[in-house]
Structure 1
Amino acid sequence: MSTTDTTSPRDEPSTGKASPRVPSRRRRWVWITATALVLGAVAGNAVLIEQLADREPMLVLARDVAWGQQVSGPDVTTADLPADAHRFAIPEDRRHQVLGLVATQNLTAGELLARHDLSPQVIPGPGQRVVGLRLEPGRYPARGLAPNDPVAVHLTPDDTNTNSGGAAAEHGEEFSARVVRASAPDAEGAIVVDLLVPEATAPAAVEAAVRGAHVSLLGPAEE
């Protein structure tokens, strides 16, 4: 005699787990956040593109230019900078106005070229003279001499000139000058240095070139 299963399918226990349902409110915030991020990225890219487009070539030093030296074509190159940089930098389209001007300080490769870095006044200017001195080892600082260095020049003692009232006696045994340029040491360690002096000091500077001198580096002027 067969037995009939009277258990209803509804009465059987469920063995599977229902998939979690994301509340519609949470899905809405996910979409809002994602949309805001996309819009922010688009806006940021637009600003960046606008800034990159609003750039101009500005003059930059391609190599070092010493104080008192004239700027030549190979001395400058260009770099793209924001257009408002022309307030302190020199645009590339004014390159022709820069060439031939004189550096007012020691300029270093890679720096922006600014208007205050240049002057039309060549060296020597009116009332000035450049005098060359050959200095033996021990008669100049070990670190060498660089353009625009302020120095004191001490004449080598000479009893005949001192007693006879020569230029050294008239102008004193020491005078101040500024270095225009200095050569590399030769085989004997001596250098030749060009000094910028006022006309009034020129006789003593010439005598120093003839008699010999010792050059010492001066500190900054007291304010």
Structure 2
Amino acid sequence: MSRRRSLPYLLLGVLLVLGCATGGVVVATQLGHREAVLVLARPVTVGQELSAQDVREVSISVDSSLAVIPARSRSEVQGRAFAYSLPAGALLTRHILGDARIPPPGQAVAAVGLKVGQYPSDLQAGSRVTVVVAASDTSTGSTASRSSAWDATVTGVHSSANDQVAAVSLQMARDDARQLAAAPAGQISVVVVHGGVR
């Protein structure tokens, strides 16, 4: 009697083992499927046309939900413009090429002129930053503690010929961008925050 009762459990155990084994084979097969795709070899800015020097090949396990660009399609995408500013190492996908897509709704791009010392020397497009504006106390001529700060993403950095001043484009909330645009240039600093590059 006990043997008859244990038989269904034994069959269930066998089916579970077979199911797990089959699942493991499927996962291993998917993980083993790697493809040569394109990634950015250097930072690019929105509107820039893709050149052969902008990309390099890497072999990765491809997620079917990503519209990655295979290395074999390199010639097909050369000359196309970037829709976003992106850092080196970003995976090249179809949606990042085309008409400029910044700023998105509710966002704006503000430009600030920064001198050496007001921003990190390795600042680049895609960097996540906090923009700090120190308010001056006009009665004493000193910098007061009531400063303003906003989160932003760098969309472009363009240095002057002598590298003394950089024009930095910052994507941020629309209202924050308006306030930043009204701030005195000499009191603006940019700080790269945790997470570094988007």
- The equivalent position to 2:153 in structure 1, one of 153, 178, 183, is 178
Question: What residue identity is the alignment partner of 2:83?
Answer: V
Kept after mapping to 1: 8 A contact 2:40/2:91 = no
Q: Deviations over 1:135-171 (max 9, x none)?
A: 1222112x331111111111131346xxxxxxxx8xx
RMSD (Å) for aligned C-alpha atoms: 4.4
Unaligned runs of 5+ in 2: 1-35, 139-145
Higher strand share: 2
Secondary structure of the residue that 1:219 maps to in structure 2? strand
For structure 1, which segment, 132-141 or 177-186, has the greater mean C-alpha deviation from structure 2 after superposition? Answer: 177-186
Q: In 1, distance between residues paired with 2:97 and 2:111? A: 25
| Offset, 1:124 | 1.6
- In structure 2, the partner of 1:208 is 183
1:193 and 2:163 are equivalent in the alignment:
no
Q: In 2, distance between residues paired with 1:156 and 1:79? A: 42
Question: What residue identity is the alignment partner of 2:73?
Answer: E
Larger radius of gyration, structure 1 or 2?
Answer: 1
1:72 and 2:15 are equivalent in the alignment:
no
- In structure 1, the partner of 2:102 is 123
Q: In 1, distance between residues paired with 2:193 and 2:102? A: 21
Q: In 1, distance between residues paired with 2:159 and 2:178? A: 26
Unaligned runs of 5+ in 1: 1-57, 161-168
- In structure 1, the partner of 2:133 is 155
Kept after mapping to 1: 8 A contact 2:87/2:124 = no
Kept after mapping to 1: 8 A contact 2:154/2:169 = yes
| Offset, 1:73 | 4.9
Q: In 1, distance between residues paired with 2:122 and 2:56? A: 33
If the length of structure 1 is used for normalisation, what is the TM-score? 0.49
Question: What residue identity is the alignment partner of 1:100?
Answer: A
- In structure 2, the partner of 1:100 is 81
Q: Deviations over 1:1-47 (max 9, x none)?
A: xxxxxxxxxxxxxxxxxxxxxxxxxxxxxxxxxxxxxxxxxxxxxxx
Higher helix share: 1
If the length of structure 2 is used for normalisation, what is the TM-score? 0.54
Q: Deviations over 1:62-120 (max 9, x none)?
A: 86342x524625357999999xx896543529936993352574245xx9744576586
